[in-house]
Structure 1
Amino acid sequence: MARDTRWNAVDEYFAPIVAQDQPLEAALAANEAAGLPPIDVSAAHGKMLHLLARIAGARKALEIGALGGYSTIRIARALPADGRLVTLEAVEEHASVARANIARAGLSDRVEVRVGAALDSLPKIEAEGLAPFDFVFIDADKENNANYLAWALRLSRRGTTIVVDNVVRDGRILDAASRDLDVVGVHRMFDMMKSEPRLHATVIQTVGAKGWDGFALAVVA
């Protein structure tokens, strides 16, 4: 789908409200310089994550998919000084950039970056007794979204907020016969959301600087 130039213009119009400061700009610049894929959440979406974590009163947060740490910084800033955010990143090079960005933002004391496949890291987090988490953000390989959502539930409590990014895929989720593994992964996650009585959820489609996409928002009952 062709992008409407007004999408970017509207995002730019809202920039003063979104309040992207120097550490966040520096994180995006460092990600670009390191050759990371340009798939960070948008500034508006990042601020939304921050606000949702604050609304949830989160003290402990889990992020599945750190990339270069931009969204990590947004979420970590919503936590109290003694709060904790565990973020998972599969690629060591990305994790290294994320750690530097997090340190530059002055958040190393409340953020732990763990490297490795998330489905290997999540059982270790459970075994260490770090759960329950108050806020969970899922933004990793979409093929495993249903598995990540299952783990988010397992590591949650009643009232935990869960956000899942990139669930519209430029509208490709409408293709029930799709063999795209990312689309199939999102379909499976939605099937789980529909059948899971512990989840109260909604899905919002969005347009903007990142194109046509959307996110799922759920609360554990």
Structure 2
Amino acid sequence: MGERWQAVDNYIAAKLLGADDALATTLANNAEQGLPPIDVSAAQGKMLFLLAQMAGAKRILEIGTLGGYSTIWLARALPDGGELVTLELEDHHAKVAHQNLERAGVSDKVDIRVGPAAGSLAAMTGEEPFDFVFIDADKQSNALYVAEAIRLGRSGAMIIVDNVVREGGVLEADSDDERIIGTRALFDMLAADPRLDATAIQTVGAKKWDGFVLARVL
């Protein structure tokens, strides 16, 4: 079944996305530099692009840069004068991302901040509010990241959290996997926080069986 999921993603990409040298070069460079192949799929990247455009996003916050593949998609959605702040723990990843953003021609719109995301977020005070937030970092901290996204986002801001189904692992209440524990804590937080209106969608495809949270700040 997994091969068929991949084949359908390939079909979608061929029909609706087409070839993209900058994105292909980004993935190739990430592999050459030893980054893990955990980027969003091409179809998911285009979804992020469209959602950010539909939200009218002028300021975007991304938590988890990796090699900048999703960053490029989001930066392309910004209008002239727009800004994307992306947070990355690993200095090596941030350097690779900078190379990729430069090649893609969007580095002037992107501010990469390196260090633990919790600290980077806590230091963000007095900035203009964000319109759109994409969270794809350590799953253990997802509830914290969403709380910070609410603090830093405007009313009506859109929040996307990736990898929230984990091939059904989210159902495992007795799991000792910190990523599943963190994901379940995220769902508890979403269910209890009156500042958000949220849902979650399961997905299958190149990234296997997973899903994402879509939330709106009230």
Match of residue 200, structure 1, among 197, 202, 206: 197
Partner Cα separation in structure 2 for residue 51 and residue 179 of structure 1: 36
The match for 2:139 among 142, 148, 170 is 142
**Correspondence 1:92-107 to 2 at 5 A:** 92-107=91-106
Which deviates the most, 129-138 or 47-56?
A: 129-138
Provide the residue aligned with 2:127 in structure 1. 130
Determine which of 182, 197, 202 is the counterpart of 2:179. Answer: 182
| Mapping 1:103-114, distance limit 5 Å | 103-114=102-113
Q: Give the match for residue 29 of structure 2.
A: 30
Cα distance, 1:130 vs. partner? 1.9
- For 1:42, the equivalent position in structure 2 comes to 41
The CA deviation string for residues 5-25 of structure 1, in whole angstroms up to 9 with x for no partner, is 210111011113134511111
Distance 2:18 2:183 in 1: 31
**Structure 1 CA distance, aligned partners of 2:67 and 2:124?**
21
Q: 1:158 aligns with which of 145, 155, 161?
A: 155
Partners of 2:30 and 2:24 in 1: CA distance: 10
Match of 1:7 in 2: 5
Q: CA–CA distance in 1 between the matches of 2:159 and 2:119? A: 20
1:131 deviates by 3.5
The answer for unaligned runs of 5 or more in structure 1 is none
After TM superposition, give the deviation of residue 4 of structure 1 in Å.
2.8
Unaligned ranges ≥5, structure 2: none
Q: Once superposed, what is the RMSD of the aligned Cα atoms? A: 0.9
Whole-angstrom CA distance in 2 between matches of 1:20 and 1:75: 18
Partner Cα distance (2:84, 2:18) in 1 = 22
1:68 equivalenced with 2:61 (yes/no): no
Query: Hey, what's the Cα distance between the residues in 2 that align with 1:213 and 1:101?
Result: 26
Query: Which AA in structure 2 matches 1:62?
Result: L
Matched positions, count: 217
Give 1:122 shift. 0.5
Is the CA contact (8 Å cut-off) linking 1:20 and 1:43 kept in structure 2? Answer: no
Cα distance, 1:125 vs structure 2 = 1.8
User: How far, CA to CA, are the matches of 1:48 and 1:205 in structure 2?
Assistant: 14
Offset of residue 53 of structure 1: 0.3
Aligned AA (1:107): V
Q: Which segment drifts farther, 105-114 or 15-24?
A: 15-24
Instruction: State whether residues 200 and 218 of structure 1, in contact with CA within 8 Å, keep that contact through their aligned partners in structure 2.
Output: yes
Report the TM-score when normalising by structure 1: 0.96
Residue equivalent to 1:84: 83
> What SS does structure 1 have at the residue aligned with 2:84?
strand
Deviations 1:118-170 (A, max 9, x none): 001012222xx223100000000000001101100110111100000000011
C-alpha change, 1:73 and 1:195, in structure 2 (3 Å) is same
- Alignment identity in percent? 59
Q: CA deviation at 1:81?
A: 1.6
Per-residue CA deviations over 1:48-70 (Å, capped at 9, x if unaligned) read: 00000000000000000000000
Contact 1:125 1:131 in 2 (8 A): no
The alignment's TM-score, normalised by the length of structure 2, stands at 0.97
1:52 and 2:59 aligned: no
Give 3-state SS (helix, strand or coil) of 1:208's partner: coil
